[in-house]
Structure 1
């Protein structure tokens, strides 16, 4: 059974910042996995999507189906994951719940005030304008978390909270890992 710390929050909410610091402090090896890593590595022919030669809406489903399946493959092979992802499409939660059912998933909400999200989105310049607002208003609806963080509390405070909760809490999130004891996670 692999351990997965799933950071879920709006675009520009601070998931990557938390993940990077968490990876340096957690006592086991964890892969840090995200869509941004794939995008930034050159996996996708971004320039051809941006030019209109390829249509992203035609490729999106297959891309995310492959990404989700790869997460299960990494975990099934015994790799621990710090996953940052936005569940912004109907059915993704259920798909990932099924794919990751054999693993210890610790589901963490990363919240951020809307005005901060919008400012970060504008500063980054690599997100469609309005995606942070849309995510802020929708992605947490109907989801249950093992822990909820607010990125304005600061990365060190959030990583301290996350590590303490991950090490000690029972699982009771949307991933249905209720009942997994902390002793299984620390061994």
Structure 2
């Protein structure tokens, strides 16, 4: 696929909470210092500060919609990103695909076994216990096709980062994002026709 080379490249890390996306992102930035980390957790904090959740004064648009447009805004201005995201349902996935379908994205699936997710949650104490395991029932369940899949509990992260770096050098050969987008919209068309 040929990308607009003026756009910044996006390494999109998709995985459940506590799967190691932020740790992986920091290691990637050490190897690719011209990339910047953008996290859905940090972005949600911005939205939370704007809202008055106690009194149900909420922004009536899902946070992810703004987040995906923020990614495109940075990319449109030539900024390279490492993004950690949780594509957790069809609406989130469709908005992400629709917004970034023509962008230079390396799609990375970040995995971690349930027992390790539980251990990390107990150690971190900043997330509800069981949140990550609950997300396993819908994250990575949308027929995504990844360019690279990483198990942060079992894989050597230095080697994984090196693989990501090499794939970014040949991003035109990466097909996971393009195939995921095409497959998703083909399925939607089939559903409409049946």
- The interval holding the TM-score normalised by the smaller chain is 0.7 to 0.9
Structure 2 residue runs of 5 or longer lacking an equivalent are 1-6, 182-194
Residue aligning to 2:23: 17
Size of the aligned set, in residue pairs, is: 172
Tell me by how many angstroms 1:59 deviates: 4.0
1 CA distance for matches of 2:109 and 2:137? 14
CA distance in 1, matches of 2:119, 2:59: 29
Q: Is the 8 A contact 2:12 2:82 kept in 1?
A: yes
The 1-side partners of 2:22 and 2:84 are apart by 7
Shift of residue 174, structure 1, vs aligned partner: 3.9
What RMSD in Å do the two structures reach over aligned CA positions? 2.6
Tell me if structure 1 keeps the 8 A contact 2:65–2:95: no
166, 171, 174: which one aligns with 1:171: 174
Compared with structure 1, are the counterparts of its residues 91 and 177 closer, same or farther at alpha carbon in structure 2 (3 Å cutoff)? Answer: closer
Judged with a 3 Å threshold, the aligned counterparts in structure 2 of structure 1 residues 114 and 78 are, in CA distance, closer, same or farther, namely same
Query: Aligned pair in 2 of structure 1 residues 62, 168: CA closer, same or farther (>3 Å)?
Result: closer
Q: 2:68 maps to which residue?
A: 68
Map of 1:138 onto structure 2:
138
SS class of match (1:91): helix
- Of residues 116-125 and 163-172 in structure 1, the stretch that sits farther from structure 2 once superposed is 163-172
Q: Retained in 2: the 8 A contact 1:17–1:155? A: no
Is the Cα contact below 8 Å between 1:97 and 1:175 reproduced in 2?
no
Among 12, 30, 36, the residue aligned to 1:31:
36
| Structure 1 residue runs of 4 or more that deviate by more than 4 Å after TM superposition | none
Displacement, 1:91?
A: 2.2
Query: 2:43 touches 2:67 (CA, 8 Å); kept in 1?
Result: no
Q: Deviations over 1:115-156 (max 9, x none)?
A: 001111122222232221122232112111000111022432
1:168 to 1:67, Cα distance in 2 relative to 1, 3 A: closer
d(CA) in 2 for partners of 1:60, 1:83: 24
Q: What SS is found at the alignment partner of 1:87?
A: coil
TM-score for the superposition, normalised by structure 2? 0.77
Select which of 40, 43, 49 maps to 1:45.
49
Residues 69, 99 of structure 1: 8 Å contact kept: yes
Q: Report the Cα offset of residue 88 of structure 1.
A: 0.7
Structure 2 distance, partners of 1:16, 1:158, is 14
